[in-house]
Structure 1
Amino acid sequence: MEIYTPRTYISQSKLEEHSGVSQGRYTLGLGQEAMAVTGDAEDVNSMALTVTHALLEKYKIDPNTVGRLEVGTETLVDKSKSTKTVLMDLFPNNTDIEGATVINACYGGTAALLNAFNWVESDAWDGRYAIVVAVDIATYARGPARPTCGAGAVAVLVGRNSPLALVDPRERATHASNVYDFFKPDHSVEYPVVDGALSQVCYYRALEDCYTKFCNKVDALNGVDQSSQGGSKDGDHFDADSADYFVFHAPYNKLVQKSYGRMHFVDARRKHARKLEGKNLFAEEKKAEEDDESDSPIAKEYLTKPIEDTYSDKALEGTLKNVSKSSYNTRLTDANAASKIVGNTYTASVFFGLASLVDKVGSRGELTSGKTAVVFSYGSGALATMYRLHIRDPTQSANETIGQGRIFTIDEMVKNLNIDQRLASREQVHPQELDLALETRARMHRGGAPYSPVYPTNGRMFPGTYYLNGIDSKWRRSYSRVPLDSEPEPEGTSTHLAPPMVLRLAKREALSTPVTGVLEVLTKSVSGTALDKYADAKARVACVITGTSAGMPYGDEIGKVFDLPISKNW
């Protein structure tokens, strides 16, 4: 596995201060610590290029040994041409690669992974690797959802000789329904239409449905009868304490905490249902079950109450938090570590959780053969799947071909991921940069072509990062890579990210370089108060000549970026 997130980020506690909300609104209320932020120099194509190239380099994968490449994303830059086709530049001598781009909110990456699993286990498999890329830039309009932005990408190498294995493909369950909790019907903007309250309920419904089906399937595979009449003990049934670890889709960490509590609630209801079905228990066994149930901190009334009536019950929510707290700390804390400081990454979120689990637990030497991790992926609309991965020690196999005989280990993954150090090397920027970046991205999204990004690259991005060069007059995007020997500016020494403003010539005078004529500000994204914060940084604003002015004489200057000093007299 390989991860990528932009080098610049915002502290959630600083964002609380900047937004004027109560202390803890985002850090405690959402359970988040930071979020990645990027401007117009990165898009999903560039981030997918970055993470895929890094995967190939770090694990020394010959591009010719890849036979399937599929991308999951919901941050579309083109309604026809897929991100997968852009990635083909990394495979110049290999055109025989199956796969496309899969779309369904945050679920696309998981759909791509299941496709890869199925391909590797099918008769169509030719011995080559599959690569799955999950990549997104999470953006929201101003409002309560904006603190749940983020950006990131994860690339996963899939083959038969893996330390994380889907041993039995029957150990999974899916939920599919038609709901409008989160969707993007307006193609003129990046922002989604969100029903926050409904989205949380839909997440709960999908989780509970997947979890119940998953438990039943695992019990059946293990020969455990679902009713008390079959003679199976409660300890035989799969429950929220059965797996060593859980990994959840994490738009924000507080939702994961609440959702894991709901799994314990489902366990209590399933146990109660089995008790009611038991007709032939010995008296002492029946009495023991009744005593056990009477000791449960979950009030008996909740065990038979329609589950839809429990979603907004704060008293129950508090009880479930206490019931699941110890198990949560043991089974989910490590998986949630990265997402808490990267933010929401949509399709990549659940994969960041898996990478974080490998990095944290693996570095302690505790992710050993025989342990299991249950993964839950959710995408609005809605699609969700729960499946189980088994940790194992791969062995050489005589029937594996085209590079599949190579052995990958958890230790190698930990060494290459190195998540803590990589995230610690990021640059913290002022909370104002979030609004400025999103305003810039919004203008790029609706501004037409050609377009040249105004955000900085070298010195502000990690070495090896791909970035958007520009969009030409035919809407074709081109990309470059930050040199591997590039030195990022140390935190605290670099200027703020340029607060972009779009300008135009107010008078139709000849366009020259540098720009002459009278310019007027079209978008005043920097307020007077915010401007004061940039005064000590010799701030300059990147300007792009657009519209009618771009078609004037000297048109070959179209799309070039000009620097003008910021003046408080604007």
Structure 2
Amino acid sequence: MSHRYLSKLVSNNQPANMKQAFHCLLFVIEGQNTNKFDVIFCIHFCFRKVMNGTGYLHRPSSVGILACELYIPSLYVDQSALETYDNVSKGKYTIGLGQQRMSICSDHEDICSLCLTVLSRLLDETGVHPQQIGRLDVGTETLIDKAKSIKTVLMQLFVDHNNTAVEGADNINACYGGTAAIFNAIHWIESSFWDGRYAVVVMGDIAVYAKGNARPTGGAGACALLIGPNAPVVFESGCRATHMAHVYDFYKPNLNSLYPVVDGHLSVQCFTSALDTCYTQFCTKSQMNHESHTHTHTSTLTSREVNLSTFAAVLFHTPYVRLAQKSLARLYLNDLIRACPYIANATTEKYKNLDIRTLVNDKDLERDLIEQSKELFEQKTLPGLYFSQNMGNMYTPSLYYSLFAFLISQPTEEQLYGRRILLFSYGSGLASSMYSVVCRKVHECRFTLAQLQRSIQRARNRLDNERT
């Protein structure tokens, strides 16, 4: 297939010609003609000309998660056994933290092998050819080299297929790196630099702690996400809240050790403060965005007032399950102070004049709010905690394993269509963001919500049946 022939096909920008051009592109990618320069030319010419250059079609829309693969380490520690080993009171880890099991890696695994495995599985299971990937971002805080990125290690899967034109790099900021990687992938697809290929985000970590109170909050896991337009799980445009600051709540200054330095009390304070700030900012932006786009319909968030009742699920970065429950209660307190209409007036009356910034360390209030928000927690957060309960803290993938768990908690894909999910990502140091995704029925696309659910369910089956 010549460049001149392809140019002729798309020169008039007619739909029939474009379909023929795309068939030619698939012909090349599927290996019947393996000239890598034809592949690169086809991708750049077809997609850039149609999507970005001529105005015949709009820029890509509904960008989000097309497919995913999850890595479940085969080994785990039972948290009740760890309680016995550590000689602590029964239930301290299983009830106090809400953890059941903690994934661990074998001595022949490292972060590179985890990421290679999950990326290779994603390509195999989806049938996506490595030449169809134009960007690869990695989110991790598990470093094995101070200079060389894990992304470059993953390039082994692309170089053998004559594809070295893959943008992206590692994203590092404690548990926030995976979210930064996703944002970068989405921004690339929505930009004028997009060449029409898919983006992939790989995130993974091995969380280990020195002996002591923090050790039961370890874990391990990795996931790979295929990112592109017309997705069944879409990152909603028009509203995102971010809060960044400089603190030493959790850090790793000793490069000869895997163990972090942790100020647990400060870390929870920072997490709570970031959660409050992001939620306030998100609600304010959502209302402003709605008012600005009421007539143009350019925003995907249509509700004038955003509160917990807006979302089918509210999910958090989850070092341990109990923190997720406290976080939901904290957002409920924000809604109480705002006197949101889904809460009875008699309940909101005593909270309406409180300054939430002064209520970070009030344990009595926290217990009261956990009890008041128990039903909301069971509806909107608990369905997303199965992987966290049984794998532990995975650092960068933690939040997204909660999303995966929620997606398979619903009996059918139809029950997810149109449902919005609120996500809060946090990384110590600190970096945090709040944003939302929506589940949708896709048309004329090979990637569906049902396929996504099947992939997650396979991982759940491995978790339940194949670990020792």
1: CA distance, partners of 2:187 / 2:304: 30
In the alignment, residue 325 of structure 1 is paired with which amino acid?
K
1:413 pairs with one of 452, 455, 458: 452
Is 1:12–1:26's contact at 8 Å kept on the other side of the alignment? Answer: yes
Alpha-carbon offset, residue 333 of structure 1: 1.4
SS at structure 1 position matched to 2:385: helix
Does the CA-based 8 Å contact 2:339-2:352 persist in structure 1? no
- The one-letter code sitting in structure 2 at the alignment partner of 1:100 is A
1:250 corresponds to which residue? 318
More divergent stretch after superposition (113-122 vs 12-21) = 12-21
**Aligned mate of 2:436, from 363, 370, 388:** 388
Which residue number in structure 1 is paired with residue 364 of structure 2? 315
Amino acid at match of 2:442: P
Distance 1:194 1:18 in 2: 22
Deviation at 1:292, TM superposition (A): 5.0
Distance 1:299 1:319 in 2: 15
- Counterpart check, 1:425 vs 2:468: no
Structure 2 SS opposite 1:70: strand
Which residue of the other structure, out of 248, 269, 281, is the alignment partner of 1:201?
Answer: 269
Q: Per-residue deviation at 1:304?
A: 3.3
Q: Taking structure 1 as reference, are residues 255 and 299 closer, same or farther at Cα in structure 2, changes over 3 Å only?
A: farther
Shift of residue 303 of structure 1?
Answer: 4.1
Secondary structure of 1:137's aligned partner: strand
- The structural deviation recorded for 1:219 is 1.6
- Deviation string for 1:132-159 (max 9, x for gaps)? 0111000111110000110000111100
| Matched length | 388
Distance 1:7 1:256 in 2: 25
Which residue in the other structure is 1:358 paired with? 407
2:165 counterpart residue number = 96
Larger Rg: 1
Q: Cα RMSD over matched residues?
A: 1.9
Partner SS state of residue 10, structure 1: strand
| Pairing 1:56–2:123 present | yes
Q: SS at the partner of 2:310?
A: coil
- Residue in structure 2 matched with residue 368 of structure 1 by the alignment: 416
CA distance in 2, matches of 1:343, 1:330: 21
Mapped to 1, the partners of 2:285 and 2:133 lie a distance apart of 33
Superposition pairs of residues 421-460 of structure 1, within 5 angstroms: 421-428=461-468
The answer (yes or no) to whether the contact 2:98–2:322 under 8 Å persists in 1 is: yes
Offset, 1:271: 3.0
Map Cα deviations across residues 311-346 of structure 1 (whole Å, 9 max, x no partner). Answer: 221211111112211111111112111111010000
Residue 367 of structure 1, CA deviation: 4.2
Check the 8 A contact 1:8/1:426 in 2, yes or no.
Answer: no
Matched, 1:186 2:254: yes
Report the counterpart of residue 282 of structure 2 in structure 1.
Answer: 214
What is the alpha-carbon distance in structure 1 between the residues aligned to residue 415 and residue 82 of structure 2?
A: 35
Identity over aligned pairs, percent: 43
TM-score by length of 2: 0.80
- 8 Å Cα contact 1:246-1:331 kept in structure 2: yes
For the residue of structure 2 that corresponds to 1:328, the secondary structure is helix
TM (normalized to structure 1)? 0.66
Change (3 A) 1:315 1:135: same
**Given that residues 215 and 238 in structure 1 are in contact (C-alpha distance below 8 angstroms), is that contact kept between their aligned partners in structure 2?**
yes
C-alpha distance in 1 between matches for 2:185 and 2:413: 28
Consecutive unaligned residues of structure 2, counting only runs of 5 or more, are 1-67, 293-302
Tell me, in whole angstroms, the C-alpha distance in 2 between the residues paired with 1:152 and 1:367: 28
Where 2:258 maps in the other structure, the secondary structure is coil
The alignment partner of 2:416 has SS state of coil
- What is residue 141 of structure 1 aligned with on the other side? 210
Note if contact 2:135-2:199 (Cα within 8 Å) is conserved in structure 1.
yes
State the Cα deviation string for residues 119-142 of structure 1 (Å, max 9, x = none): 111111111000001110001111
Q: Kindly state the Cα deviation for residue 236 of structure 1 after the two structures are TM-superposed.
A: 5.0
Equivalent position of 2:109 in the other structure: 42
Equivalent residue for 1:82, pick from 127, 143, 149: 149
Q: 1:68 aligns with which of 135, 155, 180?
A: 135
Matched residue SS, 1:345: coil
What SS class does the counterpart of residue 155 from structure 2 fall into? helix
Pick aligned residue for 2:375 from 326, 330, 335: 326
Which residue does 1:349 correspond to in 2?
Answer: 398
The answer to whether the aligner puts 1:340 opposite 2:389 as a matched pair is yes
Q: Which amino acid aligns with 1:244?
A: A
Residues 16, 184 of structure 1: alpha-carbon distance in 2 compared, 3 angstrom cutoff: same
State the AA in 2 paired with 1:155.
A
Q: Structure 1: how far apart are the matches of 2:383 and 2:361?
A: 28
Q: CA deviation at 1:40?
A: 2.8
Q: 1:368 to 1:299 in 2, by over 3 A?
A: closer
Counterpart-to-counterpart distance in 1, 2:107 and 2:75: 13
Matched residue, 2:23:
none
CA gap 1:236/1:171 in 2 versus in 1, 3 angstroms: closer
